[in-house]
Structures are given as C-alpha cells and as structure tokens.
Amino acid sequence: MPDYDYQADTRPFSQVIEDIGAKDDPKLYLGELVNAFGERGFGALMLFLGLVSAVIGAVPGSTTILGAPILLIAFQLVIRRDQLWLPRWALKSSIDREGYRTAIAKVMTPLRKVERWSRPRLSIMTSEVSEVLIGIACILLCTILVLPIPGGNLVPSLIIVAFGFGLVQRDGLAILIAWCAIALLCVGGIVVWLAWEWVSPFLLPAWHWLTGLGPQAWHWLTGLFG
C-alpha cells in the first residue's frame, strides 16, 4: 500500500476528501484516509462512520458492525493516543476511487456550506480533557448503537457525527450541541422511566386482570364493539 501524507491539518475537511479522490490510484485504502486526516483522523472517521450508521442503521446488524470501529476510536481518545490505530488488515482494505469520487460529489455542496458556518471556537470544548470525555460519551453511545432498538441508532449516530465534526473543525460549538443532545437524551430517558414508574402500578394489575379473563374477555369485547 502506498504511503500517503497529505498534511491535511491545514486544509478544510471538504478539501481533504476532494484531494483524496483526485489521486490516480484506482484503489482508495482505508490507511490512506487515516494518513490524510493526520491527527484529525479520530474526528474524521467518527464523522464518517456516524453518518453511515444514521443512514443505513435500519439494516439489521449494521449498527453492530459500525459500532465496533467507533468504539475502538473512542477508546483511543480516552487513552490519549496521538495517532489513530487500526488493525493492519483494516488499513489494507480498499474501495474503488471512482465510486468514492461519485459519492463525495453528492455531499460536497452541503458540506462546504456547513464548513463556512463552522470555525475554530470555544477551545475549552476541544481540549485534551474534553476529548477524553468525548471518548467516554461515545463508548456509552456505542452501547446504545448495538442494541436491537428499532430506530434507536439515529440519535446516538447524529451525536457521534456532531462530536466528529467538532473534532475535525476544532469547533467547540458543534461539540457543545452534541453535549446538549446527550443531556436531552438523558432527561428524556429519566422522564420515560418516571412516567412508567408512576403508570405501571395502575396498568399492570389491569393487564393481568384482562389476560386472566382469557376467552371470556375477548367475547365480551367483540360483543361490545361488534
């Protein structure tokens, strides 16, 4: 596999992915992507994998497959690795570069619009301590991704996308938005749990009573609404 070094840290994310597609090699290696993004490889791959998870998460088993590399990236954020590590076999995996160019052409316009809005800010949200906290949060989000919850992957995936975009752009506002989404997710979970705790003492006895009636209850209901 060729050794690529794009010195990508000084260029916009959209320019990096466009330059990758402009190379003559018909194969695009995952290792090339890692090298191209340099220290931003953590955020770039989180952004990429999170978007894929949000789009194809309805396919059974896809979130489990996608959650594994996100989990690996998040763990490396926690332990403060300077360079993203992936297994050798993964780095040697490749896709068709022409197909890659076709795909990125579809997202380049909206991506550049978002980039124009984004800028490095709120540096405290992209500090080393913050990156560790982001890694911990993404590990927890990955546990939600792998659960067989219909549609349950969308919100965690979008939060991971926001974290990844913030890390790539050094945009603390995007990371702050991700943290606010996590807070809302937690509050929503608490509200649902409290509502269940309040309602279940009334619903469960009624349910047990109805199921205990068996066929008699069914005949009574069909006669009532028949």
* Mean pLDDT, residues 210-219 taken together: 57
Residue 34 clears pLDDT 60, i.e. is over it: yes
pLDDT-based confidence at 4, cuts 50/70/90?
very low
Do the Cβ atoms of 55 and 153 come closer than 8 Å?
A: no
Give residue-wise pLDDT tens across range 100-132: 787 777 777 877 888 888 888 898 998 889 999
Residues 164 and 126 in one domain: yes
Residues 160 and 118 in one domain: yes
Of 176, 163, 40, the residue nearest 121 (C-alpha)? 176
Please give the pLDDT value at position 98. 82
Q: Which residue has the higher pLDDT, 185 or 51?
A: 185
Residues 141 and 208 in one domain: no
Element (H, E) at 126: none
Residue 47 domain flag: yes
Residue 28 clears pLDDT 90, i.e. is over it: no
Residues 42 and 144 in one domain: yes
Residue 1 domain flag: no
Residues 208 and 125 in one domain: no
3-state SS class at 21: helix
Do the Cβ atoms of 147 and 90 come closer than 8 Å?
A: no
Residues 122 and 206 in one domain: no
Range of the domain at 152: 8-186
Give residue-wise pLDDT tens across range 123-159: 899 888 999 999 999 999 988 877 766 666 788 888 9
Residues 94 and 201 in one domain: no
Residues 106 and 39 in one domain: yes
Residues 111 and 86 in one domain: yes
Instruction: Provide the number of structural domains found in the chain.
Output: 2
Residues 24 and 130 in one domain: yes
Residues 200 and 132 in one domain: no
| pTM exceeds cut of 0.75 | no
Residue 218 clears pLDDT 60, i.e. is over it: no
Residues 54 and 121 in one domain: yes
Do the Cβ atoms of 76 and 197 come closer than 8 Å?
A: no
Q: Distance between alpha carbon 98 and the CA centroid of its chain, in Å?
A: 26
